[in-house]
Amino acid sequence: MKGRAAISVLLAALVGASACHAETLNLLIWEDYIDQDLIDRWTQETGVSIHQINFDSDDARDVILADPTNHIDLVTVDEHGASLFGKKGVLEPLSDSNLPALADYAPEWRKRCAGYGLPYLWGTVGILYRADVIEPPPTSWQDMMRPAPALKKHVAMFDDYSELFVPPLVLLGASINANDTETLKAAFELLKAQAPSVLTYDYVITAIQSPTIGQDIHMALGYSGDQHVLNEKIGESGLWRYAVPLEGTLSWLDCVSVTAASPHKQRALEFLRYVGSPEVAAANALSLNMPTPSSAAQKLLPESVRSNPEIYPPEEVLTRSQYQQELSVNSVQARRRIISTLANFQ
């Protein structure tokens, strides 16, 4: 699996970090996925540091979580991960009794975190594109799966067994949670045909920072909100834009969870209460240009933000969206096999 060597080094580093800093919480999270000013404020108020460990795929995160010596205190997981690792006893159960901030979140959001996470941020999967290169903006998954000749070796995909399959499965009119062999084979054919146009299967926020390929990425599979991170990375506002294809997509929810094995469980719960408070949740969402599921936090946001379709997707987008569900073991294995062979067709 990609990243195993790096993960081994990471775990070793975490052991050292845990030994040296008793008042440090290890947070496993996507890169640039929480406002650093809010982290600094927490540390100033409590004296407890937050050590961020970044991952760039669900697979990499899952490998770390599955290791019983990971020294992780807090982790961002998608709704499927919250349910899966919660049932395995890896995550601490959360309720109003140990996390009163949950009262500010609607039951449908709480249900999607399966009782093992605080609803954190949500959004969609779509097409990221450079507005100075691609005109008109992409409107269909076909624009990515059958890109124009000028985009050959300028497309970044994402070797995640869930997200990578969203474009081909949606184009096939199938469920993004498809488990059957025939449907996955059909998706593989579309991915195989696209492969010669793909420059990299690394997550675009990771790939854009590469001095060898970053400047050659013009279109990418990614999440709503990633365009803001990409623009910050390259130092040019508005260059990267985001579009949700007309055929539909995945609507995702990320949750923040406390690990059941954390030696700092009470401190970790305190941090979740802080992150889930209306003021902090609103400030974080505003900083990241992403939607918060907190009803109380939403009321604190400017109307210009709440009505911005690039942040809060219009209802017509959500009605065409699907939610992530648990995949069968065979389906996950088949998807990973497909991913491992795609490089042969580039």
- What are the tens digits of pLDDT across the range 134-165? 999 999 999 999 999 999 999 999 999 999 99
201 and 243, same structural domain?
yes
Among 254, 262, 283, which Cα is nearest to 74's? 262
- CATH number for the domain spanning 96: value is 3.40.190.10
- CA torsion, ordered 9, 72, 42, 109, to nearest 10 deg: 130
pLDDT at residue 199, rounded to an integer = 98
What stretches of 259-344 adopt beta strand conformation (E)?
321-323
Task: Provide φ and ψ at 105, rounded to 5°.
Answer: -115, 130
* DSSP structural state of residue 212: T
- Say whether the peptide bond before residue 245 is cis (omega within 30 degrees of 0): no
Q: Are residues 69 and 149 in the same domain?
A: no
Same domain for 147 and 239? yes
Q: Please enumerate in sequence order all residues whose Cβ is within 8 A of that of 100, keeping only pairs 6 or more positions apart, or say none.
A: 273
Residue 156, burial from CB neighbour count under 10 angstroms (0-12, 13-18, 19+): buried
Token pair recorded at residue 220: 């990418």
- 75, 29 contact by CB (below 8 A): yes
Instruction: Give the chain's radius of gyration (CA, Å).
Output: 20
154 and 274 inside one domain: no
Both 264 and 283 in a single domain?
A: yes
Strands (E), 100-170: 118-130, 155-156
- Give the CA distances from residue 30 to residues 38, 192, 217, in Å, rounded to whole numbers and listed in that order: 16, 28, 20
274 and 245 share a domain? no
Closest to 57 in 3D by CA, of 188, 228, 202 = 202
Assigned token pair, 16: 């050292």
Are residues 111 and 184 located together in one domain of the fold?
Answer: no
For the whole model, what pTM was predicted? 0.87
Predicted local distance difference test score (pLDDT) of residue 310: 83
Across the strands, what pairs with 223?
125
- Domains in the chain, number: 2
What is the per-residue pLDDT for 59? 87
In this structure, the answer to whether residues 240 and 259 fall within a common structural domain is: no
User: Mind listing the pLDDT tens digit for each residue in 229-249?
Assistant: 999 999 999 999 999 999 999
The dihedral region occupied by 47, where left means phi > 0, alpha psi between -120 and 50, and beta the remainder, is left
Residues 133 and 228 in one domain: yes
Q: What CA–CA distance (Å, rounded) separates 192 from 111? A: 37
CA 219 to chain centre: 18
Which domain range does residue 81 map to?
Answer: 4-122+251-312
For the chain, helix, strand, coil in percent to 5 are 45, 20, 35
Q: Give the pLDDT of the chain (346 residues) as one tens digit per residue.
A: 233 333 433 444 444 444 344 589 999 999 999 999 999 999 999 999 999 999 988 889 999 999 999 999 999 999 999 999 999 999 999 999 999 999 999 999 999 999 999 999 999 999 999 999 999 999 999 999 999 999 999 999 999 999 999 999 999 999 999 999 999 999 999 999 999 999 999 999 999 999 999 999 999 999 999 999 999 999 999 999 999 999 999 999 999 999 999 999 999 999 999 999 999 999 999 999 999 999 999 999 999 999 998 899 888 888 989 999 889 999 999 999 999 999 999 9
- Euclidean distance between CA atoms 195 and 199, whole angstroms: 8
- CB-CB contact of 117 with 259 (8 Å): no
Is there a single domain that holds both residue 243 and residue 263? no
Measured in degrees and rounded to the nearest 5, phi and psi for residue 48 equal -100, 125
Who contacts 340 (Cβ-Cβ below 8 Å, separation ≥6)? none
Beta carbons of 203 and 220 less than 8 angstroms apart: no
Beta-strand pair 155-156/24-30: unpaired
Asked if 195 and 346 count as a contact pair (C-beta separation under 8 A), the reply is: yes
Return the ∠ at Cα 166 (arms to 193 and 328), rounded to 5°: 105
Query: Distance between CA 334 and CA 180 in Å, rounded?
Result: 10
Question: Token digits for 260?
Answer: 């059941």
What value, to the nearest 5°, has the Cα angle with vertex 335 and ends 332 and 337?
Answer: 110
Residues 51, 85 share a domain:
yes
Instruction: Clarify whether residues 243 and 257 are in a common domain.
Output: no
Distance CA 189, CA 195 (A): 10
